[in-house]
Amino acid sequence: MSKILSTTLRKNNLLHCSKGVVKWLSSSIRKSTTLDKDLVKRLETVSHVGFSKQSGLEVLSASVKFADRITNIDTSKVPPLITILENWYVISY
């Protein structure tokens, strides 16, 4: 885990639960998104967050790796928590 990322996680009290997540993210990823300058600039524009510092780029890179990782998870056999067909009762007064 990088020093800057661990410092950021420690400041947010996430270090105790982040080691397993970072280890999981560090494992092999089939498809990896590359962060070129144009993509970073577009993300800065859309999110209104500056990634010009090294710490910002590391957090962005970790977020992209996480998104790449969860994109490959097969959820076809997982039932939804709530469906539009649930019985909702409206209480009218």
The answer to whether residues 57 and 64 touch, using CB atoms and an 8 Å cutoff, is no
The separation between the first and the last C-alpha atoms of the chain, rounded to the nearest angstrom, is 56
Share the mean pLDDT of the chain: 69
4-17 residue pLDDT tens: 555 555 555 444 45
- Interval 64-78 mean pLDDT: 82
Burial 44-83 (b: 16+ CB within 10 A, else e): eeeeeeebeeeebebbbbbebbeeebeeeeeeeeeeeeee
The residue ranking higher by pLDDT, 24 or 37, is 37
- Interval 14-32 mean pLDDT: 54
Confidence class of residue 28 from pLDDT cuts 50, 70 and 90? very low
